[in-house]
Structures are given as C-alpha cells and as structure tokens.
Structure 1
Amino acid sequence: MEALHQNIENFANLSHPQYQLVAVLLMIGYGAHFAFSVFFLAASTQIAPRYRLVPWLSAVIMLAAGLSLLREYIAWSDSFTWVGTQWMPAADTVFSNAYRYANWTITIPLLLAQLLIALNLPQRTIHKRFAALVVAAIAMIWTGLIGQFFEHSNVGTMLLWGFISTIPFVYLVWGVWKSLRESRAHTPPQLHGWLHNLFFYFLFFWGLYALAYMVPAVGTDGDAIVVRQFMYTVADIFSKLVYGVILSRFVLRRSALEGYDGAVKALASWAGLTGSASGEPLDETPSSPQAKEL
C-alpha cells in the first residue's frame, strides 16, 4: 500500500507502554467477543422461541468481531520492531484499520436485525425498515472507509468523507428512534423504560466510533494512537457485546411477561424466588414483587 494511504499507526514510533497498551486492548477485544459467543448460545435456551434469534445473532456477531480483532492483533504484532528503546514501524509490513470496516459491514446489519426482532414489530415493518437501515449502514461504513485512507496525507479529505458518512449515520439514528417509538404499542408497559434507555445507549456508543475516526485530526503521535484504539475497543465491547446482553435480557423479560415458563423460572431463580411449576407466569400486577423483578 502506498504510504500516502496508510493509517497513522504506520508513521509513529511508540514507547513500550504505548505499544503494549494497544496490544492488550486488541487482545481484550477479541478475547471478550469469543468468550461471550458461548454465553449467548447458553442464554438462548431460557428465551421464548420467537425471540431466540436475538442471542443467536449475538453469538454470530461475537465470532465475526472476534476474528476481525484477532486479525488486527496479529497485524499489530507484525507491524512493529523493537529498535533500541522504542517500537518502530516495520519496513515490510503495514498495519491497517480497514479490517474494522469489514467487521462492521458484517456485524452492523446483524445488530440492526437483532433490535427489530426484539422489538416485535410487524413483519412487514421489519422487512422494510431493515432494508432501509442496512443501506444506510453500508453507506456510512464505506464512506468512512474511504476517508480513513487519507487520515495521514490529507486530513481535510478525511474530514470531508467523515461528513459524508455522517449523513447516513443520522438517518440510521432516526430509523432506530422511529423503530423504538413504534414498538411501544407492541411492548409490555413494564419494558417501556428499556426502550427509552436503548436509544441513548445506541446513540452514545455508536457515536463513539465517529469520535475515534476524528482522532487523526487532533493528533498522530503514540498517545493519539493509544486513545483511538482505546475508543475503538470500548465502542466494540459496548455496542456489540454489552448491547447483546441488554437485548438478551430485554427479550428474556419480554418472554416472561408473555408467559414463557422458561423465562419466568430463570428470572425467578435469579431473584431468589420460586418459579411457577405449572408454567403460569408470575403475577404481573404493579403490587406484585415478582412483577417488579421482571
């Protein structure tokens, strides 16, 4: 790859702590994602069949993200050489953040599908909304991919493509907000608070990627590299892994409120209560302690 289009990581000499911090961040990223793929498969057994695709998709997302971050870790390890008292970019290898964009191309459509399934919107709405959101997501990702090739040589061009990428991102945020709002009519009142919190969670951690993208406009030294990789790792873990846990817990509670016995027993067990042996859902009146736990 021409030096003109390389990421800033290929032009900075790093201290040993800086190099190791990035290596540890990448290792935490792929290790956590691989580990939680097992968690999501196990969690799916307690959820009503109509919602099990939510944790199943999380397991797929964990594997896809884990493989991508493992590739990033290997590239990082191969792209620097210890010379004297610092780590210097290797002459015959190039580090690239482009693998992250390939990862997002796979995982973001799946994250959107998870959300729409968990919200239990009408099938027709799900199909139309999913298609529109995926088109916006791909446009956002690939315009950002083009921009990141100019982060070292021409920050202005990088920012221009970042601005272009923001347009589909705004549409994506609007589409998620609209889906969450429409889902209130199909969601038990006990879960309405989750819908409100999900939107701001989504907005914050997906927005963190945009801030990480902007880092080269502020700095290109070793500290900037560590900060950007830290932001990427935090965004990856919270927008995929923790997001998957939240959605799995959401559909578990939804399953219980809709009377699915496995979910009722799971929630009762975690709360230290006794589930209904007959399969009847726990009392869901406002005065019921069981309902409050749900």
Structure 2
Amino acid sequence: MFLADSPPPELQTLTRGQYDLVEFALVGAGFALLAYALYSWTSRDEVGVRYRPAVLAGLCIGAVAALSYLLLFLRWGHGYELTDAGYVPGAEARLALSPRYVDWSVTVPLLCVELLAVCSLAGARARKLRASTMAAAFLMILTGYLGSQVVDEGRDTTALVVWGLVSTAFYAYLYVALIGAVRTSVPAMGREAAVSLRNAAIVLLGAFGVYPLVYAIPVFVDVTATWLTTVQLAYSAADVLAKVGFGVLVHKVAKLRTAEDVASGRDTHQEAVWVSNVEHSRAVLPPAQPPAIATRPTTPTA
C-alpha cells in the first residue's frame, strides 16, 4: 500500500542511526563476500576435478557480490547528505536498492550451478537441469525487478502484485527442481556428504525465502525510511547466508565426495583430503605413464 503524496522509501530522510546501520551492513557483507571469494580461490585444489565447477562458481559469486557491495556502499555514501534533520537523500539515493538486482541476476543462476555441481546428476540430464534452473533464476530476478523498481519506480501496487506472481512461478520451479536434484543425489553419496548437501539446500532455499517476503511488504503496509533500513539489513544478511554459508557447505560436500571417489578407486587426488581435521582420504597420484620409445626412421636402400 502506498501513500500518493509520500516519496519512495529511498527518497526519505534517514536518522543517523538508520544510516549508520545500513552502512555497517553493507561494509560487513561486502567484506564477508570478499573473504569467501579469496577462500574459494585459495582452496580450489582441495577439491577433485569432477567437483571443481562448484568451487569456481562460488569464486565468481563471491567476486561479483563483493563488487556489487562496493558499488552499493559508494551509492549509499554519495546518495545522502548529513543535515540537522538527518541524512537527506540526493539524486543517487534512488539507486540504493536497484544495484542488488544486477548482482542477483548473475549470482542467483550461479548458485544453482554451484549446488548442481556436487549433485549426482550427469550427462544430458544434468545439462538440461542446469540450463533450466539458471534461466528460471534469471527470469525470477528480472520480473521481480520490473515490479519493484521499473514500473512507476516500484510505486504501482498492481504492478508489484502481477510481476510478483510471475516471479513467484519461477521461484516455485527452482524449489521443485533443486529439491528434486538433491533428493536424487543423496542415495549416491556417503552419509556425511548427504547430510551436508541437505543442509546446503536448506540454507540456500531458506535464504531465498527472505527476498519474496521483503518484496511483498509494500503491498500491505506503507513504506517508510524504517522500511528501507530493514530491507537493506535483511538483504545484506540473506546475501551472506545464501552465498557464504551455503558456499562453505557446498565446498565441504565437494571435498567429501572427492574423498569418496579416491577411496573407491574411481578417481585420484594429488593431496590428502581433510575435513574438520579428519583425514578422509590419502593422496593418490595418477598412474605414471610409460615413456614414449623414440624410433629412428629407416633409410630406404637403393
């Protein structure tokens, strides 16, 4: 519900406390995402080649999200001016939320890639599911962006509802597809890896639930500066949970599955696999290739 004569939440004056809380959340989330990107890069060799796409997807997610939070922090700093009345919005304040959608349009599809990379699906089935979930994730973000930011700058309740319902359809498909992939994969792995995979799916899908909840708030209540502050805090917390918390769990699954493949003889790995200070497999090098025997060309006789 919107008041016709009230400005959008991004263009309302904030108290010093509200401004500082959002700034703290943006900086904290940005540092957490940067740390996760560095962790993914430095630990990529801990995972076998079969599951390394999950680590590379996590690296891209952390890097893109950290850059996004840098942009959000700069927009936030330049968008408001401190006066006796509080922090008064300027022209750039209207971009206090929209850069998040650019981030999500890249990182949410990659989150699907990250999860599916440690599942047991293979071949054409894996490629088809990966393509469909990435497309659904992107369209979920795009349609939500149209309703919350583009149509009448997110001030049209009808547009919010219509585009929100369209976005929810893609959102529901993601739930069904990803839960189905996890349930299919669990019997093919050890107990510890299966539990970690379930936990990763719960963290990801649970964090996803924050976004439609926040999206729907303006349909039912008047949006204020307090609402903007709450949204920024909720989005920052959900981003860290969905990207860092989920990513660490997926990395654990990838390591456990690497150890399982080494122990069963299906694969080799150049170093021992340790998880929580427990050695799950020893280093197994690929078999040495015999040296090629050089042959001298024969000279034809006259």
- For residue 240 of structure 2, what is the aligned residue in structure 1? 237
The alpha-carbon distance between structure 1 residues 228 and 7, as it changes in their structure 2 partners (threshold 3 A), is farther
Structure (1 or 2) with the greater helix fraction: 1
Cα contact 1:215–1:228 (8 A) shared by 2: no
Cα contact 1:68–1:103 (8 A) shared by 2: yes
Cα contact 1:151–1:216 (8 A) shared by 2: no
Gaps of 5+ in 2: 263-267, 286-302
Query: The residue matched to 2:81 in structure 1 has which SS?
Result: strand
Q: Please state how far the C-alpha of 1:43 moved relative to its aligned partner.
A: 1.5
Equivalent residue in structure 2 for 1:214, among 216, 230, 234: 216
RMSD over aligned Cα atoms: 2.5
- Report 1:37-116 matches (<5 A): 37-91=37-91, 94-116=94-116
- For residue 30 of structure 1, what is the aligned residue in structure 2? 30
Report the structure number with the largest CA radius of gyration. Answer: 2
How many residue pairs get aligned? The number is 273
- For residue 171 of structure 2, what is the aligned residue in structure 1? 169
- For residue 287 of structure 1, what is the aligned residue in structure 2? none
| Residue type at the aligned position of 1:200 | I
The alpha-carbon distance between structure 1 residues 274 and 227, as it changes in their structure 2 partners (threshold 3 A), is closer
Q: Output the CA distance in 2 between the equivalents of 1:263 and 1:277.
A: 4
Q: TM-score, normalised by structure 2?
A: 0.82
Q: Structure 1 stretches (4+) deviating beyond 6 angstroms?
A: none
The alpha-carbon distance between structure 1 residues 276 and 167, as it changes in their structure 2 partners (threshold 3 A), is closer
- Percent identity, aligned pairs only? 24
| Residue type at the aligned position of 2:193 | L
The alpha-carbon distance between structure 1 residues 263 and 213, as it changes in their structure 2 partners (threshold 3 A), is farther
- Report 1:1-294 matches (<5 A): 8-91=8-91, 94-149=94-149, 150=152, 153-217=155-219, 218-259=221-262, 264-267=272-275, 270-271=277-278, 276=282
Q: Please state how far the C-alpha of 1:151 moved relative to its aligned partner.
A: 6.5
Query: The residue matched to 1:82 in structure 2 has which SS?
Result: strand
Q: Please state how far the C-alpha of 1:69 moved relative to its aligned partner.
A: 1.4
Q: TM-score, normalised by structure 1?
A: 0.84
Cα contact 2:57–2:114 (8 A) shared by 1: yes
Cα contact 2:76–2:93 (8 A) shared by 1: no
Gaps of 5+ in 1: 280-294
Q: Output the CA distance in 1 between the equivalents of 2:106 and 2:125.
A: 22
